[in-house]
């Protein structure tokens, strides 16, 4: 019987710890959204400054950004593949936004 009670205590502690981790993840997500909002404002400005769609798409620049964030991830000892895939998705969305902004302001 003691084993079952011990397991129940462990399960309760795990649930409490998971709840705390989820709260912390939500806080990090709020910070990330704030930074994405800042990035969006900058992208909107950039979209007004570029000459054509090719300059917006800028595949060379995309690859430099990817290289930069992969290096930053490695320095922080986090998985660079996760960082890269996240950034590729984000950049793709921002390119579409920037193309729209560029078209509206040209």
Domain boundaries, the chain: 2-105
CB 90 within 8 A of CB 36: yes
* 2-105 homologous superfamily: Chorismate mutase (1.20.59.10)
How many Å apart are CA 57 and CA 94, to the nearest integer?
Answer: 10
pTM: 0.85
Q: What pLDDT does 9 receive?
A: 83
pLDDT at 106: 86
Residues in the chain, pLDDT under 70: 1-4
Q: Specify whether the CB–CB gap between 37 and 51 falls below 8 A.
A: no
How does pLDDT run across 90-99, given as a tens digit for each residue? Answer: 999 999 999 9
- The residue length of the chain stands at 106
């Amino acid at each position: 019987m003691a084993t079952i009670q011990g397991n129940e205590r462990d399960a309760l502690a795990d649930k409490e710890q998971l709840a705390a981790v989820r709260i912390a993840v939500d806080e990090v997500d709020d910070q990330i959204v704030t930074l994405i909002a800042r990035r969006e404002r900058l992208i909107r400005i950039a979209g007004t400054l570029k000459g054509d769609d090719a300059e917006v798409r800028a595949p060379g620049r995309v690859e430099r950004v990817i290289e930069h964030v992969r290096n930053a991830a490695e320095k922080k000892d986090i998985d660079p593949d996760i960082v890269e895939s996240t950034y590729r998705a984000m950049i793709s969305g921002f390119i579409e936004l920037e193309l729209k902004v560029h078209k509206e302001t040209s």
